[in-house]
């Protein structure tokens, strides 16, 4: 606040009180009164704001409002990515200065869709090892930041693999990955994929941004079959201030960076996790790294334990969980575990305050 005040910037501060509060604020905010929306938080509040703007009737003008991020959470991947892109030190003052300077850049937005249910992502989607570590380690939050290192080691020593299928539309230069397939009409099972009790949510989403208008039926899709250790789809290079899963990711290239691990010895996997802080792990022969225009995930059951599934995590929030085949928690999540979840990217849809080069 002192930095913004010293720069002569007028602002209104609103503290969020509960989950999705920022989404509600962005959905109803009178945008004519403001030149930008700044989130002082981790990445979660930024994601809520993007979803709120894109669910408005005037989404096409609302999403052009510049967004800012001042890191103040456990996951600060967007702020780290923005500052690192110009060689700036990751710090709160530098993030504030970037907003004061008013330099802006375009930001890709991915639509995560299952049937009639939609979620907008600006960071990542994970399934398998990384999602398990991120979500299940919450029970060790009392350990502080060490919880992630501790639970990473625990999960590698008791490694899980998941059956499933991934399909993708490769970016130019990545056509050699996977096997060619004939794409099935994704929308044919819209009604069966929607969760019970979500009719009003689906109806509200149809009033906003419909998603990228791309005819994928005429596009060559390719596929990789499981079992999988980890699937990690990224929109920006950094997932947090010390985790760099996608070193080649760009803010507005129109592609998502997919990181897939299917088979890897535990010793090599431990080495990969140690190299994730600088992105060098992607050079391993056990890692498949490619850029995609669209991605489709069909998450399956845990190998050796068909009553157990995994976790699908998008931008730090669980969107699907498959603990048991008929688990009640299915209806507590945004999407169902098992039916296809598709991601498509809209190039440069959003605008974000960014440090100048």
- Is residue 43 annotated as a catalytic residue, yes or no? yes
HSE-CB of 220 using CA atoms within 13 angstroms? 10
Catalytic residue among 43, 134, 313, 346: 43
Yes or no: say if 353 and 102 are a contact pair by the CB < 8 Å rule.
yes
- Residue 184 DSSP one-character state: P
DSSP 210-250: ------GGGS-EEEEES-BSEEEEESSS-SBTTB-S-TT--
Residues 6+ apart with CB under 8 A from 233: 110, 124, 125, 126, 256, 257, 258, 259, 292, 295, 343
Burial (CB count within 10 angstroms: exposed 0-12, middle 13-18, buried 19+), residue 2: exposed
Which has the closest alpha carbon to 355: 87, 63, 47?
87
**Biggest CA pair distance of the chain:** 61
Contact of 196 with 117, CB cutoff 8 Å: no
Q: Which residues are catalytic?
A: 43
């Amino acid at each position: 606040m002192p930095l913004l005040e010293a720069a002569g910037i007028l602002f209104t501060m609103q503290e969020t009180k509960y989950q999705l509060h920022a989404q509600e604020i962005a959905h109803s905010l009178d945008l004519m009164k403001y030149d930008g929306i700044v989130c002082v938080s981790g990445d979660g509040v930024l994601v809520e704001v993007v979803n709120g703007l894109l669910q408005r009737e005037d989404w096409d003008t609302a999403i052009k409002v510049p967004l800012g991020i001042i890191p103040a959470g456990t996951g600060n991947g967007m702020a780290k990515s923005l500052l690192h892109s110009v060689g700036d030190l990751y710090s709160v003052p530098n993030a504030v200065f970037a907003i004061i300077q008013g330099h802006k850049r375009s930001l890709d937005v991915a639509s995560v869709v299952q049937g009639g249910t939609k979620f907008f992502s600006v960071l990542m989607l994970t399934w398998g090892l990384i999602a398990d570590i991120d979500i299940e380690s919450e029970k060790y939050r009392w350990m502080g930041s060490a919880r992630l290192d501790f639970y990473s080691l625990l999960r590698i020593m008791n490694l899980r693999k998941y059956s499933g299928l991934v399909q993708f539309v490769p970016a130019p230069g990545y056509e050699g990955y996977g096997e060619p397939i004939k794409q099935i009409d994704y929308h044919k099972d819209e009604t069966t994929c929607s969760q019970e009790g979500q009719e009003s949510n689906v109806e509200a989403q149809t009033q906003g941004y419909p998603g990228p208008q791309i005819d994928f039926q005429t596009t060559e899709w390719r596929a990789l079959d499981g079992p999988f250790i980890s699937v990690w789809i990224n929109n920006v290079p950094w997932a947090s201030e010390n985790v760099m899963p996608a070193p080649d990711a760009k803010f507005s290239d129109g592609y998502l960076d997919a990181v897939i691990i299917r088979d890897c010895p535990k010793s090599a996997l431990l080495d990969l996790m140690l190299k994730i802080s600088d992105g060098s792990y992607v050079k391993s022969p056990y890692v498949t790294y490619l850029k995609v225009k669209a991605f489709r995930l069909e998450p399956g059951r845990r190998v050796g334990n068909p009553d157990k599934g995994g976790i699908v995590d998008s931008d730090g929030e669980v969107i699907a969980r498959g603990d048991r085949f008929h688990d009640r928690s299915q209806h507590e999540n945004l999407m169902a575990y098992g039916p296809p979840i598709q991601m498509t990217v809209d190039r440069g849809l959003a605008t974000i305050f960014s440090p100048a080069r």
